[in-house]
Amino acid sequence: MTTADSGAEAGVEEFAPAKVNLALHVTGRQADGYHLLDSLVVFAGVGDRIEARRAPALTLAVGGTMAEGLPAGDDNLVCRAARLMGVGAAIRLTKVLPLASGIGGGSADAAAALRALARLWGRPLPDAAAVAGLGADVPVCIAGKPARMQGIGERLAPLPALPPFWLVLANPGVAVPTPAVFAALEHRANPPLPPLPGAWPDAAALAGYLGRTRNDLEAPACRLAPEIAAALEALGAQPGAMLARMSGSGATCFGLFADEAGAKGAAERLARARPGWWLAAAAVLAG
């Protein structure tokens, strides 16, 4: 595997949006150690980008503002996903999302690579079991639509109609390995999500529902990295913030806002106050 681009043939591009867990309930653990989840997942209009061109062999180049520390070798999840397609391609990953940050960057990249290569070569996507073998978040990222994710990530169902709303994503720049967060979880058999409504008429109704839900990984992540609690506090204190919560296993947190002006204003204020944080304001994609 090399990091050199090759070939001049026109290729394809795929967007790899940030995956945000609006709620994440841990409902049990299987005998094999995998945790059972009940989660509401949406995708935000900020993310990485995959470009792919036909080539005799598989190569990967990595660039972008968050590329530092991300290897372009065989173990990169994009390469692992691409090998499932069994084709040659020169792939370039432009990394915008922070690494290992609870917003599915690697899973979204792998899913985008699969979609790109399927388009490029006119081939079907790998079967569901092979996709799930790449990681629990890859199946929902393949679909790229708001979903309820259950089981170990393999059971997906469409969400009721969502209203327009915006998220401010904030990552305080700390690493919280997912296995450590799950290991610090005190209770693994928690109640599932409350019954879903037929629709949420507006952002306030959605925030009201989410106020009855949780991210069960938030408390253990905050114990491991108190900076996450600081991010939650800062987001929740912003004018117009309807909810502040951690996504996935952290460390990225989000604030929920009804409109673009509120979200962008909050992101600008936080950027001035916390210049070392990664911040983004983005609309939630309708799917």
Does residue 5 have a pLDDT over 60? no
The domain defined by 12-151 carries CATH number 3.30.420.40: no
**Separation between Cα atoms, residue 115 and residue 58, nearest integer Å:** 16
So which residues are the catalytic ones? 19, 137
Does residue 6 have a pLDDT over 50? no
pLDDT at 134: 95
The average pLDDT across 113-140 equals: 95
H-type helices in the chain, by residue range?
A: 77-85, 105-121, 128-132, 138-143, 178-183, 203-210, 218-224, 226-236, 260-273
47 is written with which tokens?
């993310």
pLDDT at 72: 87
Does residue 43 have a pLDDT over 90? yes
Strands 58-63 and 89-94: parallel
- List the chain domain ranges: 12-151, 161-283
Q: Is the dihedral of CA 201, 207, 211, 215 positive or negative?
A: positive
Tell me which residue has tokens 């393949």: 142
The average pLDDT across 57-77 equals: 93
pLDDT at 143: 92
Does residue 172 have a pLDDT over 50? yes
pLDDT at 287: 67
The average pLDDT across 230-235 equals: 98
**Separation between Cα atoms, residue 193 and residue 187, nearest integer Å:** 16
Does residue 10 have a pLDDT over 80? no
Mean pLDDT of the chain: 94
Assess contact for 91 and 82: CB atoms under 8 A: yes
CATH T-level topology, domain 161-283: Alpha-Beta Plaits (3.30.70)
Does residue 244 have a pLDDT over 80? yes
Tell me which residue has tokens 């529902």: 209
Please state the pTM of the whole predicted model: 0.94
**Separation between Cα atoms, residue 137 and residue 286, nearest integer Å:** 19
